[in-house]
A and B are shown apart, each in its own frame.
Chain A
Amino acid sequence: MLAWGTIVWGGGNDATREKAFTLIMFVGLAGSLNILLGYTGYVSFGHIVFFGLGGYMGFYLLAGHGWSLPLASLAGGVFSAAIAGLLGLAVLRLRGAYFALATIGVNEAARAFVSNFEPFGGSTGMSLNFSTYQQYGGAGKALWLTFDLMVAVTAAALLASALIKNSRFGLGLLAIREDEDAAMVMGVRTPRAKTIAYMASAFFPGVIGTLYFFKNGNVEPGDAFQLNMSIELLVMVMLGGQGTVLGPLLGAVTYQGMRGYMLTSPLFKDLHLAVAGAVLLLIILFVPAGFVGWLRERFPKLRGVLE
């Protein structure tokens, strides 16, 4: 990913940067979802709610209170994590499909609430005053700064994911995934561990959301809480291999590449959604462990290398 960043930085081309921005954003989002989904096995179907809420909060501070971008995006992340901490007290008691359903409900409730919440601009959302860009030395420089921060936060998300996986705390999470009751008996403090994992996986989307909406210059409920995007993230994690550090990275790159190809190919243009669905179905039916999981199963020697 750093290699990618270097190519983009070296080239200095705006179009390449835009493409790389979206890609890196999805890597970061999928990687942070994986902290909850891959390690604890809790399927957060509406995970995009943290992208939306954090993005809204950060944007509100940027546009309404003149906070600087790094500070506002950090605040967006902290806000998302705090919401996850509070929500977690309630919804993390639910298991399996009940939890998945609850997270869909949370996303829809948040979308409906924000559409009515006047300080956040209600259903029309908020937009940035163009003069905001001046303090970053013009719109062009502001966009480059956003890109740099996006690379940094995505790298941080993947690093956090790797550190968690190899820690004692991460082992506790994996134990919860395998058998929550047994983990509890073995001394894992499951409610606390799950809540921390939930907060960690909510923090990064909050930061990413702020950066994304700053780049767009506006935020509105329809863009912030797209259930479809949430499910795309799940697909990326599945595709690459849930519970692995590299999986979400590979999954996001593959999925984005495939989508880009199909949207521009005359053959698949109209049917891109159906083809993506068929590919997803084939993966679930035949390669449920994802790409990295499959490699690990197939070539045991790789297990030491591929995390």
Chain B
Amino acid sequence: MGNLISLLDGVLIGFVYGLSAMGLSLIWGVMKVINLSHGAMMALGMFFSYQAFSKLGINPYLALPGVAVFGMLIGLLIYGVAVHRVLSGPHLSSLLATFAVNMIIIGVGTAVFSTSPRNIDYSAGAVVVGDIRLPGTRLLAAAAAILFAALLYLFLYRTRSGKAIRAVANNREAAELMGIAPTRSLALSFGIGTSLAALAGGLIATFFPFTILSGGTYELKSFVICVLGGLGNPLGALLGGLILGGIEGVIPTFMPVSWVPVVEFGLFILVLVLRPGGLLGEK
């Protein structure tokens, strides 16, 4: 019974991890950039929710649209300043450019918020079914993550801009010949990616304490998830999130909790080497 609860708990958090990884995966899929400022964006999302909740008393779930818009705007700014110029350069350039952005965000964030831990003191009760008791914030966060993932899918498959993004991801030159402005699509997908990171941060902030540096840990989780699900495949990322959440929930029931990262990163390297297309992808 205890195992089942741990698994469920892990999977619920897994939806949120998956949401964050979807952002990373989308950016990689469209422009082959690994966004190393992803973790910093998650931290910004956490602090946006925190400020809205503690200063203005806004419910952290009602603040989510604000978090999304905020994440999008920062993402567009990052794309314009740091990413656009290095897209055609070697991988090291885009890795270091986004890492530089990460340093700037963390540096300013540390100066403004310090590195002391915060938490959003918000409770949404608990749902009890038989012997199973699940905290309401986890359920709400998972529901919100599913909602935003669905919205992303609707956007990518049903709207003109979304289809343009998929076309650019598929073949940038061909898309350009078909009259799609690639820069607009690239900037938009980068903005969506960071917006998803900020949203995931805002959700995580409702159940875990955090500091401005917390993003790093979650960024590494997002890497693992993206690789499990196949880099560049947002749906795979959601599934990878569930797998990672499940692993985090179940392993502590039979092994010391400190082994969790060993399993996670071991799996990460194995999948990367043996099946670089991800568990779902082609070999």
Contact = CB atoms under 8 A, between A and B. Distances in A.
Given A41-B90, A43-B95, A102 B107 contact: no
A285 B95 CA distance: 12
A94 B227 CA distance: 13
A193 B215 CA distance: 37
Contacts of B175: none
A242 B93 CA distance: 12
Contacts of B90: 41
B273 A100 contact: no
Chain B contact residues, majority secondary structure: helix
Contacts of A45: 95
A108 interface: yes
B99 interface: yes
A89 B260 CA distance: 25
Contact of B96 (A108, A272, A280): A280
A283 B260 CA distance: 38
Contacts of A111: 261
Interface in B96-111: 96-97, 99-104, 106-108, 110-111
A166 to B, nearest CB: 24
Contacts of A115: 258
B91 A100 contact: yes
The residue in B92, B99, B108 that gathers the most chain A C-beta atoms within 10 A of its C-beta is B92
A116 interface: yes
Contacts of B265: 105-106, 108-109, 112
A102 B231 CA distance: 13
Contacts of B102: 277
Interface in A93-149: 93-94, 96-98, 100-102, 104-106, 108-109, 111-113, 115-116, 123
Interface in A71-98: 90-91, 93-94, 96-98
A184 interface: no
A306 interface: no
B37 to A, nearest CB: 10
Interface in B68-125: 81-82, 85-86, 89-93, 95-97, 99-104, 106-108, 110-111
Interface string B21-39: 0000000100010100000
Contacts of A280: 96, 99-100, 103
Interface residues of A, number: 45
Given A270-B111, A280-B103, A108 B261 contact: yes
B100 A101 contact: no
A115 B265 CA distance: 14
B146 interface: no
B91 A97 contact: yes
A94 B262 CA distance: 21
A35 to B, nearest CB: 15
B259 A91 contact: no
B96 A100 contact: no
Interface in A252-307: 270-278, 280-281, 284-285, 288
B272 A102 contact: yes
Given A93-B273, A94-B273, A108-B261, A101 B104 contact: no
B269 to A, nearest CB: 5
Contacts of A284: 86, 93, 96-97, 100
A276 B223 contact: no
A97 B24 CA distance: 13
A98 B231 CA distance: 9
B224 A274 contact: no
Interface of B: 28, 32, 34, 81-82, 85-86, 89-93, 95-97, 99-104, 106-108, 110-111, 216, 220, 223-224, 227, 231, 256, 258-262, 264-266, 268-269, 272-273, 276
25 contacts: A41-B90, A43-B91, A91-B269, A91-B272, A97-B32, A97-B34, A97-B95, A100-B34, A100-B91, A101-B34, A101-B223, A102-B273, A104-B223, A105-B224, A105-B272, A109-B261, A109-B266, A113-B262, A234-B92, A234-B96, A238-B96, A274-B108, A277-B101, A277-B107, A281-B81
